[in-house]
Amino acid sequence: MQDFQWVNTSAQLAQLCQQWQQQPFVVLDTEFVRVDTYYPNTGLIQLATTAGNYLLDPLVIDDWSPFAALLENPAVVKVVHACGEDLEVFQRLSGSLPRPLYDTQLAAAYANLGFSWGYARLVQHFLDIELPKGATRSDWLQRPLSDEQLLYAVQDVSYLAQVYPLLDALLDDTKRNWLLEDGATLVAAQQHTTDPQQLWQGVKLAWTLDARQAGLLQVLSAWREQQAQKRNIPRNWVLKEPVLLELAQKQPSSLAALERIEGVSLGLVRHNGQTLLQLMAEVQGRAAQALPQPLPEPLPLEATRALKRLKKVGEQFALEHQIAPELVLKKKILVDALASGWPQGPYQLPQSLQGWRLEYLGQALQTALAGEIA
């Protein structure tokens, strides 16, 4: 097994963080369990530098302020791979987020190697080492961790410390800046707290509801989120999304009617039935102007050709700059742009088109959209 240092006291962590503050970069990863909880239960933090590998034990370390200072140090690049939920783990554990954030999965796409490369593929490509599948699904809250878990955890960061400089050498300054901008966007998204009153808009088929039904879905979605957070359980353990939609559509006004909704358990009716009925009754009593605006219908099939034309704007840019086309313009940006004025226009670029993408592609997209009207 590769050498590593097990860090399980706050004093140890503080001393090491002073050393890590002098490094040009640190590689970070996390292992957590989120099977039956709303919030992730952190089992391990992995860190690597050119000087060594470290496993940090969040089950016993109680002072993460030195680690938070490391995360916030702009002089130390934080290297991750497909960080996903890792950012939430860092935020909940230390109250801070890694800046600047350098995601090697995105870097591989900017280097035109491929989109969504897994860690094992990256290691194979640069180091010619084949990684075992390892202990991904194991219990990271158990102690002691098995040898297999320790090996998996160390390898998740040790090889990336070797890959990072090789991969970064493939990027010019412009691409590196784009990559770091994407990292900053990921961090900003993690800092953003979604208003519970807006969650209903993400429910599948919410666009089929009228204003009154949308108001019902709004309060039910917000209540579900509050319950999931308060009880620290998955959202679907409170109410599954299709049940939210059916409640909004059928608008039950009694406990008996509530029980007839498929997916509503007797336990839910017994413990929360009256609360749900009160919430829905409040919406039924609202004036029309106090209800949310219904969502627009999805674009029709005939918009597919227009979407393909917009997509070519991004594909052409990717070809010219030799980056993975999936990096350039997400489908949602194109859909939102087209939906803003379909079918006759005028069209507007969505607020989600920001940074270098707006700077380099905004005008070309506007031109392509204007062509839809002509």
Tell me if residue 152 is catalytic.
yes
Q: What share of the chain is helix, strand, coil (3-state, %, to 5)?
A: 55, 10, 35
Tell me if residue 110 is catalytic.
no
Q: In this structure, which amino acid lies at residue 46?
A: Q
Is the dihedral angle over the CA atoms 29, 31, 35, 40 positive or is it negative?
negative
Tell me if residue 57 is catalytic.
no
Alpha carbon 80 to its chain centroid, in Å, reads 14
Cross-strand bridge partners of residue 80: 103
In angstroms, the CA 284 to CA 12 distance is 58
Instruction: Give the length of the chain.
Output: 374
Catalytic residue chosen out of the listed positions 31, 88, 168, 182: 31
Phi, psi of 44 (to 5 degrees): -165, 145
Catalytic residue chosen out of the listed positions 54, 110, 119, 152: 152
Cross-strand bridge partners of residue 356: none
The closest alpha carbon to 310, from 243, 368, 244, 253, belongs to 368
Catalytic residue chosen out of the listed positions 29, 103, 182, 225: 29
State the burial class of residue 1 (Cβ atoms within 10 Å of its Cβ: 0-12, 13-18, 19+): exposed
Catalytic residue chosen out of the listed positions 57, 86, 88, 168: 86
Tell me if residue 29 is catalytic.
yes
Tell me if residue 147 is catalytic.
no
In angstroms, the CA 26 to CA 45 distance is 12
Please give the DSSP secondary-structure letter assigned to residue 193: P
The closest alpha carbon to 333, from 370, 305, 358, 315, belongs to 358
Catalytic residue chosen out of the listed positions 57, 156, 182, 225: 156
Task: Output b/e per residue, 296-317; b: 16+ Cβ within 10 A.
Answer: eeebeeebeebeeebbebbeeb
Question: CA–CA distance from 247 to each of 221, 226, 279, 292 (Å)?
Answer: 11, 18, 12, 17
Strands 5-7 and 77-80: unpaired
Positions annotated as catalytic residues are 29, 31, 86, 152, 156
